[in-house]
Amino acid sequence: GTYTATLTASNVNGTGNSYSSTVTVAPSPTAASSSTVLCSGYSAYIFANTNASSISWNTGATTNSIYVNPTVTTIYTYTAANGGCQTTANVTVNVAPIPAQPTISVNGATLTCNPSAASYQWYLNGSPISGATSQTYVATQNGYYSVWVSNASGCQSSSSSVSVIVTSIYQQTFAQSIYITPNPANEYVEINSFTHKNLQIKITDLNGKEIFNEKINLENKNKEKIDLSKFESGVYLIEIMTDNFKVTDKLMKK
Which is more confidently placed, 216 or 13? 216
Report pLDDT digits (tens) over 28-73.
Answer: 899 999 999 999 999 999 999 999 989 999 999 999 999 999 999 9
Report the alpha-carbon angle 131-133-139, nearest 5. 75
Q: What is the dihedral of CA 128, 131, 136, 137, to 10 degrees?
A: -70
What's the average model confidence in pLDDT over 176-199?
A: 85
Which amino acid belongs to residue 73? T
Query: Residue 122 belongs to what H/E stretch?
Result: strand 119-124
Report the alpha-carbon angle 240-243-247, nearest 5. 25
Lowest mean pLDDT among 3-7, 47-51, 247-251: 3-7
Q: Cα separation of 116 and 44, whole Å?
A: 28
Q: Is the pTM of this model over 0.75?
A: no
